[in-house]
Amino acid sequence: MKKLLREPLVHFLVGGVLLFALYGETASPGAQAPDRIVVSEDQVAMLVQSFERTWMRPPRDAELKGLIDDFVTEEVLYREALALGLDRDDLIVRRRMRQKMEFLSDGISEREPSDEELRAFLDANPERFRIPSRVSFVQVFVSPDADGSPAQRAAQLLARLRDADESAGSGDPTLLPHELDGATPREVAGTFGTAFADALAEVPDGEWDGPLASSYGLHLVRVMSREPGRLPALEELRSAVAREWTAAQRAEARERFYRELRARYDVEVRMPAAPVPPAVAEQR
């Protein structure tokens, strides 16, 4: 019995019964009689509250009558549309009903995680929460389009820069930034390319080095500072871990819920005949 009570499908069925019971009390008291529509006090109150939220005042008598008439019109047309089967084979209706079923399964699965569960989730998914390393550096560009050998020019310029001749360090004109401050590896790669970012990780701090190649040309670089990446403790990012944990639990519960429902159906897929290739069609 305890095992049965832990089954998600049982939870869903119980939740569904409660929702339908609530619907019977508040949404459509006369729903079991197709030719009878009862607008309950709760429904009238909801119409009034909706009007007040929009207009910041209660509706007048004539306005309230209009709200109720519109509600009845909607109910009449909705029932007639169902009777005619207009909800069938409607992509928008199908998607909406799917969303409602997924919403039911989501509500059943959600709960507050314990610290032990969050720590286990953090340990299993460190890359989701790792703070990336950052680097600050300056670069001098050597264009492959300028006169002379780019490698030779880069070597000569590097020697002058190492001799503290900063006036010789302007390099060739470029639209690339001369300096990046506190950039992540992804940001460096986004500006200079992955190969440059990988090479920059091996450059010693505090001195001019290079040349480093990019798709633009050659670069002489000086790393000013680095901040290593790290995985924060749970206490630093509990809310973020809890949010990710909840999303993962929801996805897992939704998939489990679907598999249990899917097992009740025998699905047959009939594929259309393969289209005739154009060359074969022309021969015919």
Q: What is the per-residue pLDDT across 68-88, written as a single tens digit (0 to 9) for each?
A: 999 888 888 888 888 888 888
Domain boundary among 207, 227, 247: 227
144 shares its domain with 201:
yes
In a domain? residue 193 = yes
CATH number, domain containing residue 205: 3.10.50.40
Domain boundary among 180, 206, 227: 227
Q: Which of 78-87, 135-144, 225-234, 267-276 has the lowest mean pLDDT?
A: 267-276
Cα–Cα distance measured from residue 186 to residue 200, given in angstroms and rounded to the nearest whole number: 12
* 119 domain-assigned: no
In this structure, the answer to whether residues 65 and 142 fall within a common structural domain is no
Is 235 part of a structural domain of the chain? no
Residues 83 and 152 reside in one and the same domain: no
Domain count of the fold of the chain: 2
> Which tokens is 75 given?
């109910």
Q: Does 232 reside within a domain?
A: no
Residue 11 lies in a domain: yes
* Range of the structural domain that residue 193 is part of: 132-227
Q: Are residues 6 and 76 in the same domain?
A: yes
- The answer to the question of residue 113 being in a domain is no
In a domain? residue 100: no
Output the pTM of the full model.
0.49
77 and 138: one domain?
no
Among the three residues 70, 88, 106, which one is the final residue of a domain in this structure?
88
pLDDT surpasses 80 at 175: yes
pLDDT category at 51 given cuts 50, 70, 90 is very high
Q: Is the pLDDT of residue 17 over 50?
A: no
Rounded to whole angstroms, what are the CA distances from 265 to 153, 261, 268?
72, 8, 10
Does residue 256 belong to any structural domain of this protein?
A: no
For 175-181, the CB contacts below 8 A with 24+ separation are: 176/139, 176/141, 176/216, 177/139, 178/138, 178/139, 178/140, 179/136, 179/137, 179/138, 179/139, 180/135, 180/136, 180/137, 181/136
Predicted pLDDT of residue 102: 76
pLDDT tens-digit readout, 204-242: 998 899 899 998 999 999 999 999 988 888 888 888 988
On whether both 169 and 83 belong to a single domain, the answer is no
Asked whether the beta carbons of 200 and 226 are under 8 A apart, the reply is: no
Q: Please give the average per-residue pLDDT across 57-63, as a whole number.
A: 93
pLDDT at 131 over 90: no
